[in-house]
Structure 1
């Protein structure tokens, strides 16, 4: 578990211990958790190819505690990335995780190598700019 300011923010499943230049952060949709990326073999595939892969349980999912912060905390993903020292990342963000990835994109795009949104929710709250 990762705790910031005496509050649990996310739970991270990270089977790799590799230190590559490029880190891959995998978020999940509403019906899934970080365990999904393990079951699909995604984390193993990324590790085999030399990437540090971080699969995150968003608040209220998997091993993370329940919270309404996912939809209301605009800085959730930014604090997570900062706390883990993630520098240059590929961000994979399906569906519901758009609630935290889109605010991150608008404020921290310089930290991203690329972003891969897959039908992200919450886009109606933003303009094309």
Structure 2
């Protein structure tokens, strides 16, 4: 992910719209048609806005205690039509409960 770990920062991923465009570009470059997007932890910053804007391009979504779930409203999550399996660890007392509380609005 640009700007994380040893990856150089990229201006385009500063905004949610830019992160959607980045992930869209990655999927296109890899030739992926309707993948299942698995999103652990920090990748939520990329996957969640993509799900909300271009979820119809995904065959499924599997968040694993992703960050950024509080950045979106229950109404936004309720509009998601992508099949979703929410995973979290019962020993994760920090991020997982918050992520689950927000993501459980996905129908």
**One fold, TM greater than 0.5?**
yes
Q: Among residues 19, 26, 35, which one is paired with 1:74 in the alignment?
A: 19
Going by fraction, where is strand more abundant, 1 or 2? 1
2:51 to 101, 105, 129: 105
Any unmatched runs of 5+ in structure 1?
1-57
Q: Give, in whole Å, the separation in 1 of the partners of 2:4 and 2:72.
A: 25
Structure holding more helix per residue:
2
> 2-side partners of 1:99 and 1:125: how far apart?
9
Within 1, Cα distance between the matches of 2:14 and 2:42?
9
| Residues in 1 aligned to 2:52 and 2:68: alpha-carbon distance in whole angstroms | 13
Aligned counterparts, 1:9-88, within 5 A: 58-61=1-4, 64-67=7-10, 69-72=12-15, 73-75=18-20, 76-88=22-34
The alpha carbon displacement at 1:69 in A equals 4.7
User: How far off is 1:67 after superposition?
Assistant: 3.5
CA contact (8 A) 1:59 1:69 kept: no
Q: CA shift at 1:82, angstroms?
A: 2.2
Name structure 2 gaps, 5 residues minimum: 79-107
Match of 1:7 in 2: none
Deviations 1:20-77 (A, max 9, x none): xxxxxxxxxxxxxxxxxxxxxxxxxxxxxxxxxxxxxx11346632336545223221
Q: What is the total number of aligned residue pairs between the two structures?
A: 72
